[in-house]
Amino acid sequence: MPLRWQSGRPYRRGVLLLVRHGETAPNVDGLLLGRADPPLTERGQAQARALAAAVPVPELVVSSPLRRAVDTAAAFGAPAQVDERWIELDYGDLDGRHPAAVPGDVWARWRTDASFAPPGGESLSSLGRRVRSACDALAEPAAEAVVVVVTHVSPIKAALSWALGCGELVAWRMYVEDACITRIDIEAGGPVLRWFNRGPLTAP
């Protein structure tokens, strides 16, 4: 079924929508995709249009600087503010590799130590610091508006850690689909996770 905004009820202000970009070829192949910058596939472009049609017109659109995010953000119709803090995790030497090619000891260290960074890459702790800073910066405008952030898997997980008040290693217990929306309501008492991983009806 198509995604519906609050089951047909009038929407409210105070909403931060985290949108994962549309599909790319490395996503189809199941590869680790960090700072590499491939374009959207045709399906990814259709997903971007469906995302934009699924939510209210936002007052503010923020995007990662990577092409796949910028092109997805363009579908929302408003000029996007590019914020480097929403860029994908830097996988370093692992960028573009299949997960099965990553040595087991690297996975074990990565899953248990938030300060660990793959060779030439970035740690989950570093990612968490920059994304939490970006979330804090958006909390005030998002308290009075609908704000869309078009970003990537790892920053969405880090933003959820910010909203839930938990550590970065919880990222390993989440899976973020292509072209899906996570909704965080900005309440007086703090952020509240409302939706996770919802997607609009898109072309097959």
* 88: annotated active-site residue: yes
Q: Is 129 strand, coil or helix? A: helix
> Between helices 42-54 and 67-74, what is the axis angle to 10°?
50
Q: How many alpha carbons fall within 13 Å on the CB side of residue 109? A: 11
Identify the active-site residue in 88, 122, 152, 168. Answer: 88
* 21: annotated active-site residue: yes
Integer angstrom CA distances of residue 93 from 17, 31, 35, 119, 131: 31, 13, 11, 6, 22
Cα-based torsion angle of the residue sequence 152, 40, 34, 128 in order, rounded to the nearest 10 degrees: -10
Alpha carbon of residue 21 to chain centroid: 7
**Residue at token pair 């996503």:** 27
Judge contact between 45 and 71, C-beta under 8 A: yes
> Which amino acid, 55?
V
Judge contact between 58 and 17, C-beta under 8 A: yes
Identify the active-site residue in 21, 122, 152, 168. Answer: 21
For the annotated catalytic residues, the residue numbers are 21, 88
